[in-house]
Every structure is written in structure tokens, then in C-alpha cells.
Amino acid sequence: QIPDRARERIIDIASTQFPDGGCYHQYQPLTKKGNADIGGDFSDDPLWLILSVSAYIKETGDWSILDEMVPYDNDMSVAQPMLEHLKVSFYHIVNNLGPHGLPLAMRADWNDCIN
């Protein structure tokens, strides 16, 4: 089923998130790991998890994904519910704003082609 595969992929990607809310810029579906060579600190990446989970819930009505235990950086010893992953994604962005209240570009901005 497509909804089941979408849920699985969202959980796999959330499993590559860092405890501070940042995340890898690239995800390798075969290994289910983030790309450590590229790393993280791209300013828009944490928001994609929020958008993906929101779209999944809207399309499926499956709110139980928010209770799913998901590790940080594939370490089950620091697993938390998906809802907590969404919160740390949000706070990672709002805690990294510039003097004008806009998200900092960090390693890349919202339009990678202008870097």
C-alpha cells in the first residue's frame, strides 16, 4: 500500500534527524542512513519533516504516526515520539533566526542554486 510505504519512508527519514532538530541534507534509502559526507546545517531541511508528516496525516487521517517511537540519528537509545521530532525541527528553525527575524542561511538557503 502506498500510505504504508509513505509512512515507512517518513519514519526512516525522521530517524536520521539529530537531537538538536537539525538533520542530514541527504538520505540514502538503501542504507536508511543520512549522508555524513555532506552532513547537515542546511536551513530548510528540518522543515521538510514537518511538511511531510502534515501531508501524510492530511491524506491518510492516520494520526498515530505522531506516537511512533523514532530514534535520533538511528540510535534507538534516544528514540522519542514523532511529535517530539516535529517540535525539535520547528525549534531548530526558530532558534536560528537572524536580526530581522528570518531563518539563517547556515550552509544553504531556501534556494540552493543561489549559494
Exactly one of 4, 20, 62, 112 is catalytic; which is it? Answer: 112
Q: 54: helix, coil or strand?
A: helix
Give the C-alpha separation, 22 to 18, whole Å. 5
In the annotation, is 112 catalytic? yes
Which residues have a Cβ under 8 Å from the Cβ of 15 and sit 6 or more positions away?
32, 70, 71, 72, 73, 74
Which residues have a Cβ under 8 Å from the Cβ of 92 and sit 6 or more positions away?
20, 21, 22, 46
Active site residues: 112
